[in-house]
Amino acid sequence: MPKLKTHSGAKKRFNLTKTGKVKRAHANKRHLLNGHGKTTKLKRGLRAGAYADKTNEPAIKRLIPYK
């Protein structure tokens, strides 16, 4: 049986829900958070997670087979 390689970066970034959906963090969260960057209202909206698009779910599930 060949060894199955997983992607540790994807393992940290995505979670699978009990229903099989892929949960991810919001994008554009790391740049210009202070000062003249994003507003408080926008940053508050970026705190919550989001679900990955259904078209990307099969590719993400292949990256994290054991999760």
Residue 36: predicted pLDDT: 79
Cα four-point dihedral sign 32, 38, 44, 47 = negative
Residue environment code for 18-51, b if the CB has 16+ CB neighbours within 10 A, otherwise e? eeeebebeeeeeeeeeeeeebeeeeeeebeeeee
Residue 21: predicted pLDDT: 94
Profile the chain (67 residues) by mean pLDDT over runs of 10 residues. Answer: 74 90 86 81 87 93 82
pTM over 0.85: no
User: How many CB atoms are closer than 10 A to CB 13?
Assistant: 16
Instruction: Output the six-digit token pair for 61.
Output: 């599930």
